[in-house]
Chain A
Amino acid sequence: MKQITREFFAELEKQPALPGRQTGVLCIDLADGERTEHWYLDIRRGAIHVSHKGLTPDCVMSTDLATFEAIVDGRMNAMAAVLRGAIQIEGRFSLLIALQPFMAGPREALKRPTAGYARRRS
């Protein structure tokens, strides 16, 4: 388990409410060689609580650790990975889509305007 994945889950709890303020349990299964780690996101009206407890999931997302890291790092597009079959989804798809904004790589990327395209008028 690399730093970036741990950071991703640690940061999640501090995020503002997920789009759509959904409630549900998203289970993220990450395969790392022989081992599979289960992360449970207990989402209540958009607020996320992260645990390893075996809750009953509404949505299970399974992938390997390398793919997951590429996604949370912002190097890979999550939706394209789902279409490609690099991520398997079972259950409520909307929970994963709601999580997309937080899979944009380093936190500051969220706020970064694109150079040359967003000069605010004075």
Chain B
Amino acid sequence: MSAEVKILDGNTFVVSDDRGDIEASLTDPTGLFSFDTRFLSKWILTIDGQRLNPLSVDDLQYFETRFFLVPGTGTVYIDAKLSVIRQRAVGDGFHEELTVFNHDDKPVDLEVRIEAACDFADLFEVKDALKKQGEYSTRVEGERLVIGYRRETYVRETWVSATEACAIDDHGMTFAVHVEPHGQWTTDLHVAIGRGIQGAGGRPKYERHAKKARPIMETSLEKWLDDAPGLECDWDPLKRTYHRSLVDLAALRFSPVSLPGHYLPAAGLPWFMTMFGRDSILTSLQALPFASELARTTLVALGLWQGSRSDDFRDEDPGRILHELRFGEMTAFEERPHSPYYGSVDATPLYLVLLDEYERWTGDTKLVRALEPQARAALAWIDDYADLQGNGYIAYQRRNEETGLENQCWKDSWDSISYRDGRLPGFPRATCELQGYAYDAKVRGARLARDVWRDPALADRLEKEAADLKRRFNRDFWVEDGGYFAIALDADGSKVDSLASNNGHLLWSGIVDKSKARSVASHLMSAAMFTGWGVRTLADGQGRYNPIGYHVGTIWPFDNSFIAWGLRRYGFKDEAARIAAGILDAAEFFDGRLPEAFGGYPRELTKYPVQYPTSCSPQAWSTGAPLLLLRTMLGLEPTGDHLIVDPALPNGIGRLELLDIPGRWGRVDAFGRGRVDVAKRPRRAAQLGVIKPEKKKRGGR
């Protein structure tokens, strides 16, 4: 099994082995994918019937890679007289420049062959290994090979062509190649999405038929990096992590079919390269001080798709913001509800939070006015459709029992919501962070109503409702004998009383009474929750706690970035800095690319963050976590037309400068110097928050 090499652009991506070959089976996630459909499942290069051997792979950019190969398949070093370079760039399909070098002083005649085939699998089929219902075809059409699939009116085609003369048959292309001594031979291979979704073309990501595949300017990485604020820091790892985050965020940009030329963050590479309500919103929030265009596109695109009817199959209701949009065959034939699927209960209030935060940063009242109907519909959804139990709290219970999502909050695994003793509650479930989001949505909605929509009556009503919600929430969710908020209310309105990281999101939302904030913050920073790397999703000591349980003990960098923001909101600057230090230290172990989650083992036990096996990297909101932590550490807060800077940085960071921060103020710089002692013996060191082993402290509640 060779290593996987991935390149992507938007929702088109290629996964191959380290020779550049693709040999996919139905359950094997390799190939060329676009719009959730596999457009190439076989792509094998041979020279004189022989496979090639990889010497090295050079990842040039996220959309481009280069394979250095030699003929022969032995394990010993071959003194090759030939070598091959495949340089591949993804765009609308992919483009491969294939070069054969003759290092001998005699000419050679070679048969170079590319085998090509496609199964047109839907991503959902690859995950679930399902059978196809349509018919396949291959034909040679002029100078290209056309590989096709048809099921009723659903037609998908891949077109394969080359710039050099070749013999094309149903299974590939054969080149009769003559290479002079010390000479080379080159052909460009083009694999195009010949027939995809009608009208979903948009613009090609690179100039079609250009000799060199180059991305078009608006989407180029250089411009993206130029537009982002510059970062200078005494602590080098942060510079690397920052750069990695920006590059990965660029790779995760996705242009929705509805808004060609505009980009929002897709959820993750490669399986989640699509619009997700929750992921796109939270990542846009994290990235607001760095790239507000992502938030703008997210708001417009999600607004365009806002729910308009009650549809049980899609868990859709008027005003609801979508969960996930997919384009594959199973969605086309309504075997899956993703056209789009609306089964997320937090995306709608978070949509309002993003709309307000976007305006606070950019001053773009024009967009807030244009989206007024969507914002009002979202506010109405909270009251009219999300209150499933009629008790004034947002809750979820899927109506699509077959293919809908059971847990519609961010902790969406089956055992994520549990009582302290480990039992699982029934449905509906009203998780606590949803109430916080709803509160924040109303508070922010009130501000927009008053300042932008000029509707003081609505503003008054929303403020009154928010205050009422806050009062009831602090009474109904508070676990008296624990001093924290229950993770949820169950179907009977009783507390699901486990201690979980959701408490940090509550601080972020502002729903927590001041008198309770200290107790909540203490829990988050206790040994039961804070490992030295970050805050666990579920506290040690709870029934279902498991340091490598997906939502019951692992540490999620995105979660921690919002927890840190929440701590700052209530004035716990040093605590926020400690979390930032832990997560940024962890990032360094992952070469600046934080995973979705990592193990919740105590830092002094493992010395390094234990990776959690995950299929998706980079993941958008993990990529956004260092950005939000930067904002949090520097204490960046828009106030009117100014940006407040109030730094509280871990000691080891030294001097930190974030330059040219864009916003309604134009561009401003922020400076800070590390002053917060996050470790027992602070020093400017390789790691920010390392704790001396002899100070090891265990236990907890």
Contact = CB atoms under 8 A, between A and B. Distances in A.
Q: Do A and B make up one complex?
A: yes
B541 interface: no
A112 interface: yes
Contacts of B391: 121
A83 B124 CA distance: 15
A4 B36 CA distance: 34
Interface stretch (B85-93, B326-334, B507-515, B639-647): B326-334
A117 B199 CA distance: 37
Contacts of A118: 317, 384-385, 387-388
Interface string A45-87: 0000000000000010000000000000010010110111111
B560 interface: no
B275 to A, nearest CB: 12
A44 interface: no
Given A85-B153, A98-B304, A105 B333 contact: no
Contacts of B674: none
B36 to A, nearest CB: 9
Interface string B320-361: 000000011101111000011000000000000000000000
B153 A84 contact: yes
Nearest to A101: B308
Given A82-B197, A114-B312, A120 B383 contact: yes
A91 B260 CA distance: 11
B390 A120 contact: yes
Given A85-B198, A118-B384, A20 B370 contact: yes
B327 A121 contact: no
B257 interface: yes
A98 B370 CA distance: 13
Contact of B309 (A88, A110, A117): A110
B698 to A, nearest CB: 46
A1 interface: no
A121 B399 contact: no
B373 A16 contact: yes
Contacts of B314: 77
Interface string B206-240: 00000000000000000000000000000000000
A83 B373 CA distance: 28
B318 A110 contact: yes
Tell me whether chain B's interface is mostly helix, strand or loop, or mixed.
Answer: loop
Given A20-B303, A117-B388, A117-B399, A104 B309 contact: yes
A85 B154 contact: yes
Given A84-B333, A89-B198, A120-B383, A94 B153 contact: no
Interface in A90-121: 90-91, 93-94, 97-98, 100-101, 104-105, 109-114, 117-121
B303 A94 contact: no
A31 interface: no
Contacts of B300: 20
Max count, chain A CB within 10 A of own CB: residue among B308, B312, B391: B308
Contacts of A87: 198
Contacts of A20: 300, 303-304, 370
A101 B332 CA distance: 19
Contacts of B388: 117-118
A83 B327 contact: yes
A20 B333 CA distance: 28
Contact of A93 (B258, B303, B309, B385): B258
B638 interface: no
A14 B549 CA distance: 53
B317 A114 contact: yes
Contacts of B154: 83-85
Contact of A77 (B259, B310, B334, B399): B334
Contacts of B303: 19-20
A104 B318 CA distance: 11
Contacts of B374: 19
Interface string B185-197: 0000000000001
Max count, chain A CB within 10 A of own CB: residue among B257, B327, B391: B257
B257 A80 contact: no
Contacts of A21: 370
B306 A80 contact: no
Contacts of A98: 304
B413 to A, nearest CB: 24
A12 interface: no
A59 B304 CA distance: 16
A101 B198 CA distance: 21
A120 B389 CA distance: 9
Contacts of B370: 20-21
A21 B367 CA distance: 11
Contacts of B258: 93-94, 97
A20 B340 CA distance: 18
Contacts of B310: 109, 112-114
A84 B340 CA distance: 14
B384 A80 contact: no
Given A20-B303, A105-B309, A91 B385 contact: no
A20 B369 CA distance: 10
B616 interface: no
B152 interface: yes
A113 B198 contact: no
16 contacts: A19-B374, A20-B304, A77-B334, A77-B339, A80-B331, A80-B334, A82-B198, A83-B331, A90-B199, A94-B258, A97-B258, A97-B304, A97-B305, A110-B318, A119-B387, A121-B387
Interface of A: 16-17, 19-21, 59, 74, 77, 79-80, 82-91, 93-94, 97-98, 100-101, 104-105, 109-114, 117-122
By Cβ-Cβ distance, the 8 closest A-B pairs, closest first, are A89-B199, A101-B308, A83-B332, A104-B309, A85-B153, A119-B390, A79-B339, A94-B258
